[in-house]
Amino acid sequence: MSKQEVTLELKPRTIIRKGLNALKEDGMIPAVIHQPGSESLSVSGTKIDILKAYKEAGRRHPITIELNNKKMLTIVKNVDIDPKNQQIRHVVFGVIKQNEKVETEVSIDLIGDAPAAKAGLQVSQVLDSVHIEAFPKDLPDNLEVSIENLLEIGDKITITDIKVPNGVTILIEPEQLVAIVEEIIEQPEEEPEEAPTEVPTEIPQEEQSDNKQ
């Protein structure tokens, strides 16, 4: 878990809709800050600063936003990424409080070596992320679960097998399947298609006549 405070300086934004293209060309990224019980704020920040903050905090750790000489604790709620160039186009922040729990999504990482895999079986991860609830200071980077007890076909890992850090609650049924051991099914090789047999064309009547002569 990251203990270092992540800060980001943003500025009020009046440009909307069509004007956003010019904003982005100037190296800025538009954003919105949602405030519970108050009006949302339209803001923007430099691409460099926003990318750095997002890389450090992701969607799991708080970001302290500085806006008009005022600080507010936030967490990234949504990120719009351009599918063509994978660049961030827009960010939505949500204001949170240190003494109030927040919900977010973290990844589930399988750790260790499964004896089943060494025996030629397949360990399939069914669930790779999960929603959790915790105070901002307790939000983990990820959740880990060992697969060293997976021995044979049908052995499985569920949410109950995950050792959850103190202060963290997983918001999903404990019986939810995370990983299971399965038999590797080999796909039959496709036989190459045979080239179609060429059917001899009929000899034109003129050639038949020539052959008879």
Structure confidence by residue, pLDDT tens digits, 176-191 = 999 999 998 776 666 6
- How far apart are the C-alpha atoms of 152 and 121, rounded to whole Å? 8
3 state DSSP class of 209: helix
Q: How far apart are the first and last CA of the chain?
A: 97
DSSP conformational letter for 136:
G
Name the residue among 161, 194, 185 with its Cα closest to residue 175: 161
Distance CA 14, CA 201 (A): 77
Q: Tens digit of pLDDT for each residue in 55-71? A: 999 888 999 999 999 99
Residue 86 in 3-state DSSP?
Answer: coil
- Give the whole-angstrom CA distance, residue 51 versus residue 48: 5
DSSP code per residue over 47-65: HHHHHHHHHHHTTTS-EEE
Element (H, E) at 80: strand 70-81
Give the tokens for residue 63: 């970001």
What pLDDT, in 10s, does the model give residues 191-201? 666 656 555 55
pTM, 2 dp? 0.73
What is the average pLDDT across 2-31?
87
DSSP letters for 3-62: -SPEEEE-EE----GGGHHHHHHTTEEEEEEE-TTS--EEEEEEHHHHHHHHHHHTTTS-
Token duo for residue 32: 């919105």
* Tens-digit pLDDT profile for residues 109-132: 999 999 999 999 999 999 999 999
Distance in angstroms (rounded) separating the CA atoms of residues 5 and 56 = 9
